[in-house]
Amino acid sequence: MLCSVLYSKDMGSGKNYSPNIYRIFSSLWVFVYAADNHLAGVSASTADVENHLHLGMQLLARGQYSDALSHYHAAVDGDPSNYLTYFKRATVYLALGKSKAALEDLNKVIELKSDFLAARLQRGNILLKQGRLEEAHIDYEWVLRLDPLNGDAQRAYGDLEPVKRDMELAYILIEDRDYIAAIDVLTRLLQVCPWDGKLREMRAGCYEALNDLVNAIGDLRSATKMRSDNTEGYLKLSQLHYKLGEVDESLTVIRECLKLDPDHKQCFKHYKKVKKLAAQLRAMQDSISQNDYTSCVEKANVALTTEPEMLHIVQHIKGRMCHCLNKGGQPSEAISICSEALKLNAEDVNALCDRADAYLLNEDYDKAKEDFQHAVNIDEHLQRAKEGLEKTQKLVKQAKKRDYYKILGVRRTAGKREIMKAYRKLAMKWHPDNFQGDEKKTAEKKFIDIAAAKEVLTDPEKRQKFDNGEDPLDPDSQQGQGFNPFAHGFNPFQGGFHQGGGPFTFKFHFN
């Protein structure tokens, strides 16, 4: 049972080990039972130690490794000279994936009884996985000298020479900068030596040389866990996260380096820069959350001063700046910055949608449609892009009808104050009282349009509908109920604007 658990634990971590190694693990359960039988004849054991060993064995059989481990700790403390107790605890450590602790216990076993072949074989397996080939070689030879027919030792011993040749080949390929071939060889090596941190660092370097930063980070993350004092590994890992634009992750990792060595100059230098930039990026996001888009743009420019070179970071900052310029009513500037962000990452769907929205504000519907469609092609489930396409189609249709912004001569980003100012000016100009004859009919039509524009653009709900491509006063959109300037008590001629300041007394007649 223990062997199957060990096998599933390794496979669950994504490691593919040599079948020879698994055959070696399969003998472990036999050794544990043999150890129990041997222990029965040891008269020095106390009742408490025997009880802890018995409970530990039961828990081990049920797969309750952590609970089993506590009993083996007690057994070792009760009888520190019993090599079998250390051996049993080593098996539990291995089941928990704690190879370093298991190796310490196996060293103790062999110190107490150098010819205990089960411990020799098990230690050889761990050393092989750690890439310590010469030490593993010694243990396998010990086993084969005393038990020449031991199949597990024979198979593992046979793995050593191919592994040594592959290690030499990997160094040659890296020196020749044949990184793809080197990765293939290193991957084959890691199937046999998955706990060799040096091999993972070598493969990480190859991935980085090929600009595959994600896989490089994965290997370095594993390597830092294999050595407790790996400050250089943490520094490199933090730098890769930073290069990938993952500033918060970079900050978390570089702090691990400083925990190991607070005086590490390179780690501290990198930490200061990452910490500063992380604070600036958070400040940008805070401004967005507070709808303070002017402040967002200012903070983005400051962040670009801190980091003007790393492409992923620059792209992220410009993408956020693009969003803020768009939301802040500066569509032309937004289009420019969005385009810069998209040059760095053509598949940034948020930048595509932000630029498309800016194109809509500039009434460039063809380009808006192109950007929204591109975003949908990248992510067919992106609701924002799908809704943007629908909105664009409505606005194209709407452009052929009344455009309330054009009627008042204001931008689509105009505020209520600007809209009212434009309305009063045009209402004064086109009030029918100012015209006679045929010109009055033209003025009446223009005045109704001006009043309709004012009603829609000063009402947040109606304006939102219009901005989304729906005319709230269009009979087609309102089930046949068009705009009536006198409906609901509204009269565009009340509150007039003649120089006397009083209301208009003009009575409007439909012809």
Instruction: Please write the tens of the pLDDT for every residue from 451-481.
Output: 888 888 898 998 888 888 787 887 665 543 4
Read off the pLDDT of residues 51-108 as tens digits, 9 standing for 90 and up.
888 888 888 888 888 888 898 898 888 889 999 989 989 988 988 888 999 999 999 9
- What gap in Å lies between CA 30 and CA 22, rounded to an integer? 14
Sequence ranges of the domains in the chain: 2-166, 291-400, 406-489
Give the pLDDT score at 28: 45
Mean pLDDT of 409-423: 86
Mean pLDDT of 323-334: 93
Count helices and strands (H / E) in the chain: 26, 0
DSSP letter, residue 347: T
Residue closest to 395 by CA, chosen among 476, 463, 467, 479: 467
Contact 373, 359 (CB under 8 A): no
| Top-tier CATH class for 406-489 | mainly alpha
Give yes or no on whether 291-400 and 406-489 have one common fold: no
Give the pLDDT score at 475: 65
Tell me the Ramachandran region of residue 433: left when phi exceeds 0, alpha when psi lies from -120 to 50, beta otherwise.
alpha
Can you tell me whether residue 345 is helix, strand or coil?
Answer: coil
Alpha carbon distances (Å) from 395 to 69, 364, 468, 474: 70, 10, 7, 13
Q: Which amino acid is at 288?
A: I
- Domain 291-400: give its CATH architecture: Alpha Horseshoe (1.25)
What mean pLDDT is reported for the chain?
84
Read off the pLDDT of residues 186-235 as tens digits, 9 standing for 90 and up.
999 999 999 999 999 999 999 999 999 999 999 999 999 888 789 999 99
CATH number of 2-166: 1.25.40.10
Q: Which of 246 and 7 is assigned the larger pLDDT?
A: 246
Q: How far is CA 115 from the centre of its chain?
A: 51
- What gap in Å lies between CA 148 and CA 321, rounded to an integer? 72
Read off the pLDDT of residues 274-310 as tens digits, 9 standing for 90 and up.
999 999 999 999 999 999 999 999 999 999 999 999 9
Percent of the chain topping pLDDT 70: 84
- What gap in Å lies between CA 95 and CA 102, rounded to an integer? 9
Q: Please tell me the number of Cα atoms within 13 Å of 135 on its side-chain side.
A: 13
- What gap in Å lies between CA 87 and CA 110, rounded to an integer? 9
